[in-house]
Amino acid sequence: MKKMVLIIISFLATNCLAQEIDLERLSLPDGFSISIYAEIENPRQLALGSDNTVFVGSLRSRVWAITNPDGNAQGNAVIAIAEGLNTPNGVAYHDGDLYIGEIGRVSKITNVGEKLNEPQSTETLNDSLPNRRHHGFKFLQVGPDGKIYLPVGAPCNVCEEEEIFAKILNMNLDGTDLQIVASGIRNTVGFDFHPISGELWFTDNGRDMMGDDIPACEINRMSSEGQHFGFPYFHQGDLPDPNFGRGRSANEFVPPVLKLGAHVAPLGLAFYRGEQFPSNYGNTVFWAEHGSWNRSEKQGYRVMMGRVSSDNTSISSYSPFIDGWLQGQSHWGRPVDVLSMPDGSVLISDDMANVIYRVSYDG
């Protein structure tokens, strides 16, 4: 059973026309509620800092901070902390510093919690990344090894590019020692490290122009460095590419943990780390499906949840956690990223509705 949430909020988003956000159209599992945590233009990746501060990347030119020192159900203030950047989609917080991922550059604001009063200058850590916008949006995480992980997507729908493209990389916190850790990844804009195994799980967006129903988008698990996940030779683990798959075998590559719908565009992925939700959410992974743009009938536009197996290597079952942004063939929101908060609630960014939602369990 699902519970319909009876809240309607209108707002004037930053630099946007006023629009109506009708949360009544969203469906969640029984006992859960959803509300508006903050209003921000084009929010993308979310990162948790100290004192409940949430940092927000965007596809515009600014990075934002949402302050909330008392841990309330809504953010207190929204502050631009960096501006004039080149599509700063990625943000990661570590030991007091904020790391920012632009298309061709990773930078840092040191001791960012002390600098929330106005936009700050950023210190370049590494600007050797390709400056190509196609699948060039960055997503940042600091791994258990203390290194920054980031993607470089394929600069095409499907192509055979050498060097740094279609990869996940890591580097030291000072930007040195940039290394390839995984290959064959068309475009990931969301990943997380499993809280127990420490392994990297990531979404990947499947190629276009093979029809409505193939290939599937993917969730993958990197169990060791150097693995190849198939692109551009094989898609969804078992589907050879009509141009690049000749002479290749599926067993050369690591298959996905889960095949999703074609064109659903999975972006942010996060393991639930809180204690507010019921106990059966203790080993759950959430991912945001941004939604299709080139399918004859739209699909996606929802947040999904998957139960991770007891050995932490697969997804034993999965289902929608929040849906309703897609009404028939019209959509009014596009979820991007998912973030666990210290109180056990979850935040979700929406770069179409220009809001960040808060999901809590009240049952």
Could you report the per-residue pLDDT of 222-252, keeping only the tens digit for each?
999 999 999 999 999 999 999 999 999 999 9
DSSP state of 323: B
- How far apart (Å, rounded) are the C-alpha atoms in residues 361 and 363? 6
Please name which of 208, 319, 219 lies closest in space to residue 260, comparing C-alpha atoms.
219
Please tell me the number of Cα atoms within 13 Å of 159 on its side-chain side: 11
Contact 237, 250 (CB under 8 A): yes
For 101-128, give one letter per residue: b (16+ CB within 10 A) or e. Answer: bbbbbbbbbeebbebbeebbebeebbee
SS3 97: strand
| Cα angle for residues 241, 242, 243 (degrees, 5° grid) | 90
What pLDDT does 26 receive?
98
What residues in the chain have per-residue pLDDT under 50?
A: 1-18
What pLDDT does 163 receive?
85
- Tokens of residue 362, six digits: 């009240």
Q: How far is C-alpha 109 from the geometric centre of its chain's CA atoms?
A: 21
Give the pLDDT confidence of 142-169 residue by residue, as tens digits.
999 999 999 999 999 999 987 899 999 9
Please name which of 301, 360, 316, 348 lies closest in space to residue 44, comparing C-alpha atoms.
348
Please name which of 133, 173, 132, 134 lies closest in space to residue 150, comparing C-alpha atoms.
173
- Tokens of residue 258, six digits: 């889960």
What pLDDT does 363 receive?
84
- Tokens of residue 165, six digits: 């493209």
3-state secondary structure 190-220: CEEECCCCCCEEEEECCCCCCCCCCCCCEEE
- How far apart (Å, rounded) are the C-alpha atoms in residues 50 and 295? 41
Give all domains of the chain, ordered by start, each with its CATH number: 39-318+333-361 (2.120.10.30)
Pairing of strands 179-183, 227-228: parallel
Does the reported pTM lie above 0.85?
yes
Provide the β-strand partners of residue 323: 27
Contact 109, 123 (CB under 8 A): yes
Please name which of 169, 264, 170 lies closest in space to residue 219, comparing C-alpha atoms.
264
